[in-house]
Amino acid sequence: MNKEVKIQVLKKIDYKDVPIYIRKIDTIFEYLIIFKGELFSQYFNIQPTKIRGAIALLEDYSEKELENTLKFIYISATKTIDELKK
Q: Which sequence spans correspond to the domains of the chain?
A: 7-84
49 dihedral zone (left: phi>0; alpha: psi -120 to 50; beta):
alpha
The strand pairing partners of 45, in sequence order, are: 28
Query: Per the confidence metrics, is the pTM higher than 0.85?
Result: no
Please report which helix (H) or strand (E) contains residue 38, including its range. Answer: strand 38-45
Tens digit of pLDDT at every position of the chain (86 positions): 677 888 999 999 999 999 999 999 988 999 999 999 999 999 999 988 765 444 444 457 888 889 999 999 999 999 999 999 99
